Amino acid sequence: MDFLTNILNILLFLVMLGVLITIHELGHFIAAKAFKVYVFEFAVGFGPKIFRKKKGETFYSLRALPLGGFVAMYGEEDTLPDEYKEQEIDKSRSLLGINRGKRAIIMSAGIIMNLILGYAIF
């Protein structure tokens, strides 16, 4: 019985962690989209892709390791992802192409969403 309880606790922990990470990354994503920053990919998890679908200009993916996630935005890296090499994206849609205040909101939006989640749970 203890073994089953431990397995259930681990699974519940992974589900809760997945929810927390998804809400956090969703904060960054929503803020970036609100300020018209080009988002290459919204991913939950790390590692190999389990699922990937493109809707509009953004890829949405679920990865194998549920211990993180990311929002890949134009201007975070010096180079474009391979899928976008031929595409001409306006510099004003990059993370560095917006003012610092908007950039700060995008970067802190994940934390703000976690605070809202905590408030909603209580």
Lowest mean pLDDT among 58-72, 82-96, 98-112: 82-96
Active site residue 25: yes
Percent of the chain with pLDDT over 90: 67
CA distance 113 to 38: 20
pLDDT band at 91 (very low <50, low <70, confident <90, very high): confident
Average pLDDT, the chain: 91
Cα separation, 38 vs 18, in Å, equals: 25
Average the pLDDT over 68-79 and give the result. 88
Q: Which of 85, 10, 40 minimizes the C-alpha distance to 2? A: 10
Which pTM value belongs to this model?
0.88
- Sequence letter at residue 68: G
Are the C-beta atoms of 24 and 114 separated by less than 8 Å? yes
